[in-house]
Chain A
Amino acid sequence: MVNRLAVNLCGIPMQNPLVPASGSFGFGLELADTLDLNLLGGISLKGTTREARFGNPTPRIAECTAGMINSVGLQNPGIEVLVSEKAPALRRIYRGVIIANISGYSVEEYAFNCGRADACPDIDLLEVNISCPNVHGGGMAFGTEPKLAAAVTRAVKEVTEKPVFIKLSPNVTDIVSIAKACEDAGADGITLVNTFLGMRIDIARRQPVIANKMGGFSGAAIFPIALRMVYQVAHACRIPVMGCGGVQRAEDVIEMMMAGATAVQVGAENLRNPMACPEMLEALPELMDRLGIKCLQDIIGVV
Chain B
Amino acid sequence: MLKKIFHIGSNSPVAHDTFRLVLETDASVTVRSGQFVDIALPGRYLRRPISVSDVLPRGLVLYYKIVGEGTREMAAMTPGTALELLLPLGSGFGPEKCREKALLVGGGLGAAPLYLLARELLQAGKHPTAVLGFNRADEICLAEEFRALGVPVHVATLDGSVGTKGFVTDAIAAEKLQADFFYSCGPLPMMKALCAALDIPGQVSLEERMGCGAGFCYGCSVQTLEGPRRVCADGPVFDKEVVLW
A residues bordering B, Cβ < 8 Å?
A: 23-26, 30-31, 33-34, 46, 54-55, 58-68, 70, 72, 75, 209, 219-220, 268, 270-275
Contact = CB atoms under 8 A, between A and B. Distances in A.
A274 B216 contact: yes
Interface stretch (B13-21, B39-47, B155-163): B39-47
Interface residues of B, number: 26
22 contacts: A23-B217, A23-B218, A26-B216, A26-B218, A30-B233, A55-B218, A55-B221, A58-B208, A58-B209, A61-B46, A63-B45, A65-B45, A67-B45, A68-B45, A72-B221, A75-B218, A75-B221, A75-B228, A209-B209, A270-B212, A271-B211, A272-B47
Given A26-B216, A274-B86, A274-B214, A58 B1 contact: no
B210 interface: yes
Given A24-B216, A270-B216, 13 more contacts: A26-B217, A55-B218, A58-B209, A59-B209, A60-B209, A60-B219, A61-B211, A72-B219, A72-B221, A270-B217, A271-B211, A273-B3, A274-B212
B211 A68 contact: yes
B90 to A, nearest CB: 13
Contacts of B222: 58
B220 interface: yes
Nearest to A268: B45
Contacts, number: 91
Q: Is the interface of A mostly helix, strand, loop or mixed?
A: loop
Given A54-B223, A58-B222, A271-B211, A25 B45 contact: no
A75 B215 CA distance: 13
B46 A274 contact: no
A31 B1 CA distance: 9
